[in-house]
Amino acid sequence: MSEEQQKPSLEKGATADAAPEADKAVPAQRPETGERLLEVTGMRKYFPINGGFVFQRRVGDVRAVDGIDFHIDKGEALGMVGESGCGKSTTGRLVTRLLEPTDGKVAYAGQDITHASRRQLAPIRSEIQMIFQDPYASLNPRQTVGNIISAPMEINGINPTGGREKRVRELLETVGLNPEHYNRFPHEFSGGQRQRIGVARALSVNPKLIVADEPVSALDVSIQAQVVNLLQQVQKELGIAFLFIAHDLAIVRHFSQRIAVMYLGKIVEIGDRESIYVKPRHPYTHALLSAAPEADPDDKGRERIRLAGDVPSPINPPSGCRFRTRCWKAQDLCADEEPPLIQLGGSSEGHLTACHFPEEPTVTARAEDIILDPALAGAEEAADKTL
């Protein structure tokens, strides 16, 4: 990363404690795109389950991530959505090499880092940073803010011109905190402010890729937007690529240029924002979108799909297509054969779907709602009778 980018030209406090009007649109200064930054192929992560009568042995696996492919281009934000336990965080930790993949390949800037040793990773480590969900647990309560933020520089042996402290003070300003807070401790800050500290820590080593695992889900509604705006500014002005993990579909849409939808350890659909939100093909994407609550009482034009039950266990995932146990289009083929993640006829370039019997590319309401939940169907029937 070049020297001038060390001093980001972000407007001071633009996201911080300023009135809403002060929040100008950030300049859409896009970095060169199209260049692969991260390429993941066939990545798997199985967590062994140990058990057994007398002696512990491996009796099964949690297939947290089970063969996924995706890439992130330079300066691009890839959003990742899916229900709890589908493997989003595991993917994030695999990409940052906090976890060792069971199988598959991770290439960063053309270099295979799947099995790179600590030493081989050293130059890259600073370029991939992570922001965590829980702003309370992810900061060491016994360290000052200054120490927390400069830790990655220390680990990676980076000495910015003017010294680390000066850099930390700049970073504090960048993320909308007061540089005077250098010597304070995390407990003196609110959740939103702690998340800003987390962002500053990630920025301290001029990363090219930030993996943000649910960076706003633990925050108050009114604070979430502050952090989202900050991250977006960082992404656009510093040209940092993001793997943005979240379960809030609207926030992911707002933040990411491309979106991957995960279900039970698999990517079931991936594509640009428009394709996923307006022309989804995978039944699960349809279900997910139709379930997202919208703060609009007139929002009757969307399809209404209610799945039955919960996500199955990743220990014994269904054969064939994993979504088939909750899918209304499932047929015999779905149980026998796993659908490949491919571009379907009629889908736009780069919009891949893993489904044998894809849906129409639209989210407008159908003639009839799809209600698979027996209790819901029953209750609705009863309600219809009483009316």
Ligand X SMILES: Nc1ncnc2c1ncn2[C@@H]1O[C@H](COP(=O)(O)OP(=O)(O)OP(=O)(O)O)[C@@H](O)[C@H]1O
Binding site for other proteins (CB under 8 A): 15-21, 23, 25-26, 28, 53-54, 83-84, 190, 192-193, 220-226, 228-229, 232, 247, 249-251, 253-254, 273, 277, 287-299, 306-311, 373-376, 378-380, 382-383, 386-387
What's the min distance (Å) between Cβ of 78 and ligand X? 15
Q: Which is nearer to ligand SF4, 128 or 321 (CB)?
A: 321
* Contact between residue 249 and residue 242 where contact means Cβ atoms under 8 Å apart: no
- Please tell me the distance from the alpha carbon of residue 280 to that of residue 271, in angstroms, as a whole number: 9
Q: Which of 92, 85, 81, 89 is nearest to 277 (CA)?
A: 81
Of ligand SF4, Mg ion, ligand X, none, which one sits near residue 327, judging by CB under 5 to 8 A according to partner kind? ligand SF4
Among residues 245, 202, 216, the alpha carbon closest in space to that of 65 is found at: 245
Asked if 347 and 275 touch (Cβ cutoff 8 Å), the reply is: yes
- 210 interacts with ligand X by CB under 6 A: no
Distance in Å, CB of 271 to ligand X, minimum: 19
Q: How many Å apart are CA 83 and CA 322, to the nearest integer?
A: 13
Size of the site for Mg ion (CB under 5 A): 1
CB of 24 to other proteins, least distance (A): 8
195 neighbors 155 (Cβ within 8 angstroms): no
- Residue by residue, DSSP assigns 349-385 as TT-EE--SSPPPS--BPPSS-EE--HHHHHHHHHHHH
Taking the least distance from each CB to ligand SF4, the nearer of 306 and 329 is 329
Per CB under 6 A, 247 contacts ligand X: yes
Three-state DSSP at 170 gives helix
Q: Can you tell me the distance from the alpha carbon of 285 to that of 299, in angstroms, rounded to the nearest whole number? A: 18
Instruction: Quote the least distance from Cβ 313 to ligand SF4, whole Å.
Output: 17
- The reply on whether position 90 binds Mg ion by CB under 5 A is no
**185 or 357, CB closer to ligand SF4?**
357
88 or 208: CB nearest Mg ion: 88
Stretch of residues binding Mg ion (CB under 5 A), selected from 81-89, 158-166, 220-228, 327-335: 81-89
- What sign does the CA torsion over 254, 256, 258, 264 have? negative
Output the smallest distance, CB 220 to other proteins, in A.
5
Residue 68 interacting entry, from ligand SF4, ligand X, Mg ion, none, C-beta within 5 to 8 Å by type: none
Of 216 and 352, nearer to Mg ion (C-beta) is 216
Contact 94, 70 (CB under 8 A): no
User: Which residues from 319-348 bind ligand SF4, rule CB under 6 A?
Assistant: 321, 323-324, 327, 329-330, 334, 339
Q: What SS3 state is found at 253?
A: helix
Based on CB atoms, which residue is closest to Mg ion, 95 or 175? 95
The reply on whether position 89 binds Mg ion by CB under 5 A is: yes
* Residues in 354-383 that interact with ligand SF4 by CB under 6 A: 355-357
- Whether 186 and 141 have beta carbons less than 8 Å apart is answered as yes
Residues 29-58 contacting ligand X, CB under 6 A: 47
CB 65 within 8 Å of CB 247: no
48 contacts 58 by C-beta, under 8 angstroms? yes
The 3-state DSSP class for residue 54 equals coil
Q: Judged by CB under 6 A, which stretch of 83-91, 175-183, 278-286, 367-375 contacts ligand X?
A: 83-91
- Residue 370's beta-bridge partner residues? 305
Q: How far is the CB of 82 from ligand SF4 (least distance, A)?
A: 14
Q: Among residues 136 and 357, whose Cβ is nearest to ligand SF4?
A: 357
Q: 54 contacts which partner out of ligand X, other proteins, ligand SF4, none, CB within 5 to 8 A by kind?
A: other proteins
For residue 208 the two structure tokens come to 């090219």
Rounded CA-CA distance 304/79 in Å is 24
Max CA separation in the chain (angstroms): 75
- Judged by the rule CB under 6 A, the positions of this chain that interact with ligand X are 47, 62, 64, 82, 84-90, 247, 314
- Judged by the rule CB under 5 A, the positions of this chain that interact with Mg ion are 89
